[in-house]
DNA sequence: CAGCTTGGTCAACAACTGATGACAACAGTG
DNA sequence: CACTGTTGTCATCAGTTGTTGACCAAGCTG
């Protein structure tokens, strides 16, 4: 409960928080909001909850961001997490996916940006932006570098896997995915991804319709 | 708005609804709740919304189900949608996944059961039950039928893909996945799934650490 | 010190939330 | 007809929601 409320007291004097610090308060609100939104979704947490985590009054959300929606936008927008895929060598795609779905060292302090959007996937705007981002980076950008038929579909299948693994590993925490080290995961990720990269040849192994 | 509110007026006499019909009202509430929960998540819709869609008063939710949580449980629990996987021939797994992620003919009337849980994935209980279901069916049941190392991980990777495709196809509606017919999807699904079924041999192709 | 701008709290509003209990409309039985 | 149990509506409660404007407190300038 009071885990995140001390995030503002680190200005050099422990326990002696600087009282007037607009930038610090703003970022404290951003951090608390990122955590709350990622864990409980947009509808699952209130402005008062976030403000309490940040250690300030809820009214400051409206002074610094204007509305709850704007705060959510500030937290979830423009992460650019898919950008590296644009100019990534094809044989490094699996490793990149493996890296994206990695829990990272600071899961408590900085939640996975994809989780924030997945947990609020009931919001029309969140879904819309996610669709735009995936369409741009995967269906259009990345698919253009894939040879063979149905490149867009194959690209989106990789995106689907990326999101599914993120969901199972970080949100649902299925036993094997949550416990498996990245190197092991990478091995089997490659086994599934490579056939999708190598164009449609393997699909005609059993039957060439 | 009033799209689902006429779901009770079909007892034979059009426009002349049977006034006193407990079973009908109960199922109307269930249907409306399934739709609302799948679209907006547990926190995103109110009991009054659901009751209005069903064409009855909100108080009936409490008479027939006891609470909003109980209504959600009645909607989301015990779908048993993963059960077929237990005794499915391995070479039919891809086709089964393809069938599960299929939109089906009546998306408006009966939303995908997985979507209901994904959209409410911020609820602790929903996540817990989903984890149990996946662990039982995939990590324990299905993995036991897989040869080779890390069978549980490979099984969960398939589950992750299943959920990711459902998400992208039905919730986010990414262009290619939403438009691609099932036969085409099945081809590439096989290409990615088969290596995971065939044990860990292909993983040692590039480097046998 | 007064005067001003900035940073933060407080009380309150109107709308909505889940939930309850009183009450009215129906249907069957005597 | 009255009697009884079921089915549905209504008003309402207490708590929470997003949001706002009045107000206090800190720091700076004169």
Closest nucleotide to B64: CA versus each C1': D7
pLDDT for position A12:
37
pLDDT for position B52:
98
Residue A114: its H or E element:
helix A113-119
Q: Is the CB of A59 under 7 A from strand D?
A: yes
Considering only alpha carbons, which residue of chain A is nearest residue B159?
A164
pLDDT for position B173:
96
B19-76 residue pLDDT tens: 789 999 999 999 999 999 999 999 999 999 999 999 999 999 999 999 999 999 999 9
Closest nucleotide to B24: CA versus each C1': D7
Contacts of A168 in chain B (CB under 8 A): 134, 156, 159-160, 163
Segment among A96-105, A138-147, B43-52, B176-185 with least mean pLDDT: A96-105
- Per-residue pLDDT band at A206 (split at 50, 70, 90): very low
- Kindly provide the residue ranges of all beta strands, DSSP E only, lying in chain A, ordered along the sequence: none
Contact across the interface for B192 and A188, Cβ inside 8 Å? no
Q: Is the CB of A67 under 7 A from strand D?
A: yes
Evaluate if residue A83 carries a pLDDT over 60: yes
Considering only alpha carbons, which residue of chain A is nearest residue B166?
A160
CA of A20 and C1' of D24: distance in angstroms? 14
- B15/chain A closest Cα distance in angstroms: 33
pLDDT for position A200:
52
Contact across the interface for B174 and A138, Cβ inside 8 Å? yes
Q: In angstroms, rounded to a whole number, what is the distance separating the alpha carbons of residues B169 and B176?
A: 9
| Buried/exposed B165-198: b ≥16 CB within 10 Å, e otherwise | bbbbbbbbbbbbbeebeeebbbbbbbbbbbbbbe
Of the candidates A152, A168, A196, which has its C-beta nearest B176's C-beta? A152
Segment among A66-70, A204-208, B149-153, B162-166 with least mean pLDDT: A204-208
CB A200 within 8 A of CB A148: yes
pLDDT for position B209:
30
B85-130 residue pLDDT tens: 999 999 999 999 999 998 776 667 789 999 999 999 999 999 999 9
Q: In angstroms, rounded to a whole number, what is the distance separating the alpha carbons of residues A169 and B115?
A: 18
- B30/chain A closest Cα distance in angstroms: 19
Contacts of A143 in chain B (CB under 8 A): 176
Contact across the interface for B168 and A177, Cβ inside 8 Å? no
Considering only alpha carbons, which residue of chain B is nearest residue A181?
B153
- Kindly provide the residue ranges of all beta strands, DSSP E only, lying in chain B, ordered along the sequence: none
A125-172 residue pLDDT tens: 999 999 999 999 999 999 999 999 999 999 999 999 999 999 999 999
- Per-residue pLDDT band at A205 (split at 50, 70, 90): very low
**Closest to A137 in 3D by CA, of A96, A174, A189, A84:** A84
B122-168 residue pLDDT tens: 999 999 999 999 999 999 999 999 999 999 999 999 999 999 999 99
Evaluate if residue B80 carries a pLDDT over 90: no
Backbone angles phi, psi at B133, to 5 degrees: -65, -45
pLDDT for position A203:
43
pLDDT for position B18:
61
pLDDT for position A181:
94
- Per-residue pLDDT band at A18 (split at 50, 70, 90): low
- Per-residue pLDDT band at A33 (split at 50, 70, 90): very high
Q: Is the CB of B59 under 7 A from strand D?
A: yes
């Amino acid at each position: 409960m009071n885990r995140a409320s001390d995030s503002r007291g680190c200005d050099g004097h422990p326990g002696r928080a600087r009282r007037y610090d607009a930038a610090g308060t703003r970022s404290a609100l951003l951090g608390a909001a990122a955590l709350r939104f990622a864990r409980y979704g947009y509808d699952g947490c209130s402005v008062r909850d976030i403000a309490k985590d940040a250690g300030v009054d809820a009214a400051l959300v409206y002074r610094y961001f204007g509305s709850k929606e704007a705060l959510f936008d500030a937290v979830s927008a423009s992460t650019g997490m898919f950008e590296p895929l644009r100019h990534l060598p094809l044989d490094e795609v699996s490793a990149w996916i493996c890296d994206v779905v990695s829990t990272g060292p600071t899961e408590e302090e900085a939640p996975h940006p994809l989780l924030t959007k997945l947990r609020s996937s009931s919001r029309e705007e969140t879904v819309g932006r996610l669709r735009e981002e995936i369409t741009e980076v995967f269906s259009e950008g990345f698919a253009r570098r894939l040879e063979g038929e149905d490149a867009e579909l194959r690209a989106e299948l990789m995106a689907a896997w990326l999101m599914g693994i993120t969901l199972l590993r970080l949100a649902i925490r299925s036993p094997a995915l949550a416990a498996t080290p990245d190197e092991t995961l990478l091995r089997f990720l490659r086994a599934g991804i490579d056939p999708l990269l190598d164009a449609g040849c393997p699909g005609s192994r059993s039957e060439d319709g």
